[in-house]
Structure 1
Amino acid sequence: MHATTAMRRHRSHLIGAALSTTLLLGAPTPAAAHPASTADAACPFSSAVCLFEGENYTGARLTLSSWPPGSGACISLVEHNWNGRARSAYNTNPTSAALFMNDDCIGGPNQLPPGGTPYLDTATQASIWVP
């Protein structure tokens, strides 16, 4: 066997072994798997805020995000016929969103931290700041 051919075979086996190791390490184990929460299943989007008509992330959903993600946007809930309708919310952004009682994101905000808010006050919902 020629030395160059032997080196190529050896290199192929090393690459194959490295790929096998990566695939095994990257695969989830059954013990690590866990079911998604109700909110995660109801709002499976990244960098978004989902508003729900029902408490605990139930009923009709309005999904809002800014473009490009992270740029921030004031969105009128009045224009989308959602003023005062949301009873729960889920924020998948890394920073807080905020609901406002005015249609232009002015006034005292009702913060929506990252994660779920299972119960909302409907009086403060005319606009929303989405991160």
Structure 2
Amino acid sequence: MLFGRLRSVLPIVALSMVVVFGTGTAASAGPSIGTCPSGSLCLYEGAGFTGAKFSVTSLNPNGTCVSLVSHGWGDRAHSAINTHNSGAAMFMNDNCVGGPYQVPANSSLSSFGGFTPESVWVPYWNS
């Protein structure tokens, strides 16, 4: 019974967000906002926008909570670029609950310090 319910929820989740994986490269002069697709939150494995990159965009008008743990990115992100005109938020919990670590609109954070996100909330992107 649980499997049947889970199977019916997965297509809804798939339609509500777009997740793009890629690999980052070390940048000696630092990245520009152009290294992250428009309307996306890009998380980088290393501080200073280095290492592997995880990009996420919401197609849900209410925004989307994305489990980084489910995508193999729990506790991996250490820097971010937000190319959306609205802020995004990162959470230390896997369900976007608790005190958020804000990623302001059209901004970049070269280091989160000791913060390691396990989920992110991204706003709707209507290109």
TM over 0.5: yes
Verify: 1:94 aligned to 2:85, yes or no.
yes
Q: 2:51 and 2:118 mapped to 1: Cα distance? A: 19
- How many residue pairs are counted as aligned between the two chains? 93
Q: Which has the higher contact order (CA 8 A, sep 6+)?
A: 2
Verify: 1:56 aligned to 2:48, yes or no.
yes
Q: 2:89 and 2:113 mapped to 1: Cα distance? A: 12
**Which residue identity lines up with residue 87 of structure 2 in the other structure?**
S
**Structure 1: gaps spanning 5 or more residues:** 1-36
Q: How large is the Cα RMSD of the aligned pairs?
A: 1.7
Q: Which has the higher helix share?
A: 1
Secondary structure, counterpart of 2:98 in structure 1: coil
Alpha-carbon offset, residue 38 of structure 1 = 1.4
Spell out structure 1 runs of 4+ moving beyond 4 A.
none
How many percent identity over aligned positions?
43
> Are 2:42 and 2:81, in contact at CA under 8 Å, matched by a contact in 1?
yes
TM-score, normalization: structure 1? 0.65
Alpha-carbon offset, residue 124 of structure 1 = 4.0
Verify: 1:126 aligned to 2:101, yes or no.
no
TM-score, normalization: structure 2? 0.67
Q: Which has the higher strand share?
A: 2
Compare CA radii of gyration and give the structure with the larger one.
1
